[in-house]
């Protein structure tokens, strides 16, 4: 039987590092998840690439990310002859990271065409998400351009004219540095990011039939992009979001001349410093209409939703890295004659981080599988993605801030020093919860999905299916806990449509919190059942039970989140030792 154990004696002055670790091979939980969510065949083909990127992320990429973070991009507005060029000069370390992401692994291209990483057809979203999750553990900022380029290709594929597709898709999906054009999405104006309907950018159609855009965009990430999808209001179109059209604005026109937009300056940001975010003015920039003129906002929301999930994935990656750093540190660093990991209060912090990081990884990989089902045309998956996307973005990006902050604490003084990764993780984590919709806005979107799009029915059906797999008798109380909590949420939200907005708004975040835990808990329980059926013990059921008790049945005011018995399971859980059924008794 596995029981908690102590560790090899650490050095007294240990300042442990994760340098050189393979983030894939180190993460037994993630390997299990990849295998179970991808299926054996896809996993076998994916495994060498995951192993490669795991090694790069733990070594070269992390070192490059640290350098790029300290050497942010610079705007070169004019060339030596005084011509306006609006170039963003990226540091060589960032350029090398671009090569790894776009060219070596084809992260932006793989979902659109065959042949990337030798994949016979388009690679599944689960592969893209799994690789990106590893990448995010070392570099957060660059995954914005990767996701934007990927999303631009998706939008163009879905809504673009044949002419636009022929001209631009080969560039967006290129894996050769010279052929690659990065894409982006610029909506936010001074008037607001949440209130997109207040946009003031105008589109005018000239005598030559071409649309030209006039206005300012206040946050323009991937300022170096060659192609931007943007929103503007055609002259005479109605106010609000329904009057907005989507345009593709290239940096260079087909004849090679520079399009009429300028980067006014680059922003000096707290995190994601390696990636250029600017402010842009359209001064009669040529824009090509994408899709239906009256559906710009609706189309853009599809892109935003893709970015929201991508953001949740990056936040989950930050959580995992924060956990890994903390575990490695706490095992080797000694205080009061014992490794930190043996100190009860610290062990409790680590257990909390481990459970949240593990739950987030499950939600993320299953999100990707959901996208694969949606792309294959499953109506059920489309309805589910409508509510799942804001839910995942809402909770995981918020929680990543706490987990990154906790990891900083665990490393003590060194955690506050820029030579270590912790400050970067914390700074990046703060961004995830703001862009692509900040927490309140995204929680209100979960609410809208419930009130208008039957989101709760979709979620409840998914959870019922997962819980139906769980036949292990010892897990029954936790299955019942999920079911009864879900009933409570269903009763509570049934009255939402008739409630005054002020009252309803106040419930948006508490309900989203609970729903996230129910979703994550259902996934963990089903994974626990699977592991058990594979004859690999009760490790995952133990994690599921601890997670659900922690979040759905708190132990009351002023009580610790875990008992003394529960925290003893930290290391067996972290090391993926085989755990037998007796451990489950410690959950209650
Ligand atoms: C580094 C960075 C890069 C960015 N890059 C891009 C980009 O490339 N393209 C782009 O289009 N945008 C980009 N953004 C903009 C980003 O998406 C917005 O900043 C974000 O959506 C919030 O909008 P806002 O700043 O206007 O804040 P506001 O909309 O003014 O919101 C302020 C606060 O009010 C809250 N709030 C708003 N509405 C409600 C409500 N109904 N109920 C309760 N609370 C509410 C919000 O949750 C938030 O906390 C970027 C932002 C950052 C920081």
- Among residues 189, 160, 120, the alpha carbon closest in space to that of 303 is found at 160
CA distance 569 to 245: 55
- Buried-state track 419-447, b at ≥16 Cβ within 10 A, e below 16: ebbbbbbbbbbbbbbebbbebebbbbbbb
- Per-residue pLDDT for 193 more than 90? no
φ, ψ for residue 465 (rounded to 5)?
A: -65, -45
pLDDT at 2 over 60: no
Grouping H, G, I as helix, E, B as strand and the rest as coil, residue 556 is: coil
User: For a pocket test of ligand 1, which of 268, 434, 506 has the largest count of ligand atoms closer than 8 A to its C-beta?
Assistant: 434
Among the listed residues 395, 371, 350, the one whose alpha carbon sits nearest the alpha carbon of residue 517? 395
pLDDT higher than threshold 80 for residue 346: yes
- Quick check: helix, strand or coil at residue 123? coil
Q: CA-CA distance, 337 to 334, in Å (whole number)?
A: 6
- Ligand 1 neighbour 5 (Cβ under 6 A): no
Mean pLDDT value of segment 420-449: 97
Mean pLDDT of 259-275: 97
- Is there an atom of ligand 1 within 6 Å of 191 CB? no
Ligand 1 pocket test, candidate residues 183, 228, 241, 438, most atoms within 8 A of CB: 438
- Rounded to whole angstroms, the Cα distance separating 429 from 423 reads 10
Confidence tier at 15 by pLDDT (50, 70, 90):
confident
Q: What residue owns the CA closest to ligand 1's atom 13?
A: 219
Q: Which of 44, 265, 33, 3 is nearest to 133 (CA)?
A: 33
Give Rg (Cα) of the chain: 24
Question: Residue 12's pLDDT is what?
Answer: 55
**Which of 236-245, 495-504, 550-559 has the least mean pLDDT?**
550-559
Decide whether any atom of ligand 1 lies within 6 Å of the 192 Cβ: yes
Measured between its terminal Cα atoms, the distance across the chain in Å is 20
Q: How confident is the model at residue 5 (pLDDT cuts 50, 70, 90)?
A: very low
Which of the listed residues 194, 228, 247 should we mutate to test ligand 1's pocket, taking the one with most ligand atoms within 8 A of CB?
A: 194
Q: How many CA atoms lie within 13 A of 438 on its CB side?
A: 9
Measured distance CA(62)–CA(46) in Å, rounded: 22
Residue 4 binned pLDDT confidence (cut-offs 50, 70, 90): very low
Q: Which residues are registered as beta bridge partners of 481? A: none
Q: Which residue has the higher pLDDT, 194 or 129?
A: 129
Q: Is the pLDDT of residue 586 over 50?
A: yes
* Confidence tier at 11 by pLDDT (50, 70, 90): low
């Amino acid at each position: 039987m596995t029981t908690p154990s102590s560790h090899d004696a650490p050095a007294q002055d240990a300042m442990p590092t994760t340098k050189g670790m393979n983030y894939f091979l180190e993460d037994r939980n993630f390997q299990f998840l990849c295998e179970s969510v991808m299926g054996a065949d896809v996993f076998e083909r994916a495994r060498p690439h995951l192993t490669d990127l795991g090694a790069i992320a733990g070594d070269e990429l992390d070192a490059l990310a640290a350098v790029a973070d300290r050497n942010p991009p610079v705007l070169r507005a004019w060339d030596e002859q005084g011509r306006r060029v609006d170039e963003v000069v990226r540091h060589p370390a960032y350029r090398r990271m671009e090569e790894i992401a776009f060219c070596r692994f084809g992260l932006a291209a793989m979902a659109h065409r065959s042949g990337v990483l030798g994949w016979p057809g388009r690679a599944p979203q689960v592969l893209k998400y799994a690789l990106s999750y590893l990448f995010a553990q070392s570099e957060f900022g660059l995954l914005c351009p990767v996701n934007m380029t990927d999303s631009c290709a998706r939008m163009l594929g879905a809504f673009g004219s044949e002419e636009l597709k022929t001209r631009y898709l080969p560039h967006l999906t290129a894996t050769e540095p010279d052929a690659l054009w990065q894409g982006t999405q610029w909506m936010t104006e001074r008037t607001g990011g949440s209130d997109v309907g207040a946009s003031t950018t105008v589109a005018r159609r000239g005598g030559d039939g071409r649309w030209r855009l006039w206005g300012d965009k206040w946050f323009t990430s991937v300022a170096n992009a060659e192609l931007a999808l943007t929103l503007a209001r055609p002259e005479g179109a109605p106010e609000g979001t329904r009057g907005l059209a989507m345009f593709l604005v290239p940096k260079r026109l087909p004849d090679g001349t520079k399009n009429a937009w300028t980067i006014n300056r680059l922003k000096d940001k707290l995190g994601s410093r390696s990636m250029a975010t600017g402010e842009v003015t359209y001064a009669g920039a040529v824009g090509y209409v994408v899709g239906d003129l009256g559906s710009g906002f609706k189309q853009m929301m599809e892109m935003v939703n893709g970015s929201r999930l991508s953001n949740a994935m990056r936040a989950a990656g930050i959580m995992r890295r924060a956990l890994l750093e903390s575990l490695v540190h706490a095992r080797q660093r000694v205080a009061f004659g014992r490794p930190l990991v043996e100190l009860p209060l610290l062990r409790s912090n680590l257990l909390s981080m481990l459970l949240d990081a593990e739950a987030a990884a499950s939600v993320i990989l299953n999100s990707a599988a959901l996208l694969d089902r949606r792309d294959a045309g499953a109506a059920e998956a489309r309805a589910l993605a409508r509510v799942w996307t804001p839910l995942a973005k809402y909770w995981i990006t918020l929680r990543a801030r706490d987990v990154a902050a906790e990891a900083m604490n665990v490393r003590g003084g060194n955690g506050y020093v820029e030579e270590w990764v912790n400050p970067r993780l914390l700074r990046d984590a703060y961004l995830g919860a703001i862009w692509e919709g900040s927490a309140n806005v995204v929680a209100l979107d979960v609410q809208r999905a419930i009130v208008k799009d039957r989101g709760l029915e979709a979620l409840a059906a998914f959870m019922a299916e997962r819980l139906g797999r769980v036949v292990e008798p010892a897990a029954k109380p936790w299955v019942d806990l999920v079911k009864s909590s879900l009933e409570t949420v269903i009763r509570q939200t049934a009255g939402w449509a008739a409630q005054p907005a002020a009252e309803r708004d106040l419930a948006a975040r508490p309900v989203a919190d609970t729903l996230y835990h129910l979703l994550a808990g259902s996934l963990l329980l089903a994974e626990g059942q699977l592991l058990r059926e594979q004859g690999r013990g009760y490790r995952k059921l133990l994690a599921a039970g601890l997670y659900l008790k922690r979040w759905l049945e708190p132990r009351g005011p002023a009580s610790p989140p875990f008992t003394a018995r529960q925290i003893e399971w930290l290391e067996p859980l972290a090391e993926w030792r085989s755990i037998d059924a007796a451990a489950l008794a410690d959950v209650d």
